[in-house]
Amino acid sequence: MMRFVVIVCFAIAAQTAAFAAPVTASGPTALALAAVLAQQSPQIPPFNKRVIARLFHGNTNFGFVPNTKISVDADSVVCTTSNVDITMRGCELTFAHGKRALTGPQANEISATALAAGATSEGAAGSIDENLSKLVCTLDPNEIMKKAGGGAQCTFETGK
């Protein structure tokens, strides 16, 4: 019996560790995630938001300060979609300097992009949730402009 308890404890610990394991996204998925979140972040200067938007739209015909990177961070991203009330979708974004609540197309864009980047989806009682925490995206505009697949990296944790 004691052996069974030890095995169960190790199994639970392994599931917990896997549940909170960091996820890494790079390349086009990381650029997309950083771009949709950057536009909502109160801590990113307008100039950097414009640079990220231009890159995400495929416009690389501009100069950018060499050896400079842009960081897009969020403490948490919680998106909920209902599979009962199919009109309901919302996201709550928590940044170091404020929160932002989104609904409709903006929430859908963030939710879908987070799923594409590796967020997990959980459902309960008519709702589907995606939860990200400790999100850190680093963009190197000069590397992205080379169009060789590099220059965008995001890490985050999934689950609650």
Number of domains in the chain: 1
CA distance 11 to 100: 37
Inside any domain, residue 12: no
> Rounded to two decimals, what is the model's pTM?
0.84
> Which single residue is written with the structure tokens 């004691």?
2
User: For the CA atoms of the chain, what is the radius of gyration?
Assistant: 18
Position 26: which residue type? S
Is 53 within a domain?
A: yes
For residue 17, tell me if it sits in a domain.
no
Give the pLDDT confidence of 53-110 residue by residue, as tens digits.
999 999 999 989 999 999 999 999 999 999 899 999 999 999 999 999 999 999 999 9
Say if 94 falls within a structural domain: yes
Residue 11 belongs to some domain of the structure: no
What percentage of the chain reaches a pLDDT higher than 70? Answer: 87
In a domain, 129, yes or no: yes
User: How far is residue 17 from each of residues 11, 46, 159, measured CA to CA in Å?
Assistant: 10, 38, 11
DSSP one-letter string for 69-111:
-EEEEEEEEEEEEESSSTT-EEEEEEETTEEEEEEHHHHHHHH
pLDDT digits (tens, 9 = 90+) for 106-122: 999 999 999 999 998 88
- Is there a domain that residue 123 lies in? yes
Structural domain including 100 reads 23-158
For the chain, the straight-line distance linking the first and the last C-alpha, in angstroms and rounded, comes to: 32
Residue 5 lies in a domain: no
